[in-house]
Amino acid sequence: MNVEYVSTRDNSDRVSASCAILRGLALDGGLYVPTSIPKLSRSLTELANMDYKQVAFEVMKLMLSDFTDDELKSCIDGAYDSKFDTEQIAPLSYADGAYYLELYHGKTIAFKDMALSILPYLMTTAARKNNITNEIVILTATSGDTGKAALAGFADVPGTKIIVFFPKDGVSDIQKRQMVTQKGDNTFVVGINGNFDQAQTGVKKMFGDASLKAELDKAGYQFSSANSINIGRLVPQIVYYVYAYTRLVKEGKISAGDKINVTVPTGNFGNILACYYAKQMGLPVDRLICASNENKVLYDFFTTGTYDRNREFHLTSSPSMDILISSNLERLIYRIADCDDGTDSELMRELREDGKYTITPAMKEKLSDFYGNFADQKETEQEIRRVFEDTGYVLDPHTAVASAVYQKFLSDTGDDKPVVIASTASPYKFTRTVMRSIGHDDPDKSDIELTDDLSAVSGVKVPEAIEEIKTAPVRHKTTCEVDEMPSVVKGFLKI
């Protein structure tokens, strides 16, 4: 089956997978979605006997039709290698009645690595396939996590450069150290005198600047984005749900065909959407449990059918889920609107102009796969403590939100099918909250110093990613004003 991609806002904008990866966003501002979702072509038992890379190949080749087998295999080999600290890539840990799918064994110990390790390879392959000879320059503004994962993914990938802007005083110490110590001759990191929104606006301006584009083109460069709406990030995320299910089969925890539930700590709705696509491909997933923190815009949407971003924004202990506009939800809206680009465009216009929209009862009926709920910060810390005291297993705050929401699901529905909980960050990334939750905080110690204490109480080795930043030299010292961003970029590119 040949899968192509269309814009959620214009079905006549129809492109190949490689073109969708190069563009990121569709020209009309919509998101690219597959024209159809193919069924898995191998049986669950066959997949159970494959390793991560083989499963990745079987899943991704169905969604990326215009990549040859050899191209795809070389992308997968480049991505899922010893950068990960376990050969399983995404291992399952059983604790207290749930299987935690640990998506944090990559370079930056958070789940963004799962997709950002392979995106650079997919992108350079896509450029070759579309006869693009310019070097790709990834331009990103970050509030912390995505920037580092993108840097680690693109570092030293031939044919690419990556430039990351972060708010100089607006990220955590660990996040800042992770970025300014980044290796790779093609990496550039800049602290701006401004906040995240200003960094983001500055980057968007450069993307839209026609004369800058022409200057770049003349010098053999073009901008691209590693944004989470790129299907080159979404497709690799389908893989680990298939992998997790088939590991349970392999280990005899379930039989092939048994239904499981999946819980996902959700922000931009990319991770859980990938699980929804896995279900459409035939993976026996029953309910998709969408977990939010106090920014519970998605919980309200699933309960009322109204998406409303007009509300107070909360800064929480699970910062990667502090989001009021979940961009990837548009792809689900498009599907429950029976792929009608007109309906989707209209709802997204309402979101832009009024900050809210309401779906029809018929659309809402199609959301029965989903269950939404949320956990506040107190419940999140209690969940970290509960699981630790019961089992010794330590959750990071994002995973703890998911775990607490799963407990609510259990008591609401009594549905105790085997459950996989997506574990999206290592507790070592959030030592302060974690240590406070389990009663071992020490206010005199820095977040980094607390990592040794966490290791002592949990018995889990401090990850390489943390050990590295303790001693790594600072390589990136550039800072600038917001309006200097374009000249800084030109300076790096020597144009």
Q: Which is nearer to ligand PLP, 196 or 221 (CB)?
A: 196
Q: For residue 160, count other CB atoms closer than 10 A to its CB.
A: 22
Q: Which is nearer to ligand PLP, 249 or 288 (CB)?
A: 288
Strand 187-193's sheet: what is its strand order? 221-224, 135-141, 160-167, 187-193, 479-481
- Smallest distance from ligand PLP to CB 379, Å: 17
- Smallest distance from ligand PLP to CB 266, Å: 4
Q: Which is nearer to ligand PLP, 67 or 269 (CB)?
A: 269
- Smallest distance from ligand PLP to CB 228, Å: 6
Q: Which is nearer to ligand PLP, 167 or 489 (CB)?
A: 167
Q: Which is nearer to ligand PLP, 30 or 319 (CB)?
A: 319
Q: Which is nearer to ligand PLP, 107 or 161 (CB)?
A: 107
Please, which residues bridge with residue 373 across strands? 291
Q: Which is nearer to ligand PLP, 247 or 398 (CB)?
A: 398
- Smallest distance from ligand PLP to CB 135, Å: 28
- Smallest distance from ligand PLP to CB 273, Å: 8
Q: Which is nearer to ligand PLP, 227 or 228 (CB)?
A: 228
Burial of 202 (0-12, 13-18, 19+ CB in 10 A): buried
- Smallest distance from ligand PLP to CB 178, Å: 13
Q: How far does the chain reach from its first CA to its final CA, in angstroms?
A: 44
Task: Please state, in angstroms and rounded to a whole number, the distance separating the CA atoms of residues 388 and 382.
Answer: 10
- Smallest distance from ligand PLP to CB 1, Å: 26
- Smallest distance from ligand PLP to CB 285, Å: 17
Chain residues binding ligand PLP by CB under 6 A are 110-112, 145, 228, 265-271, 320-321, 398, 424-425
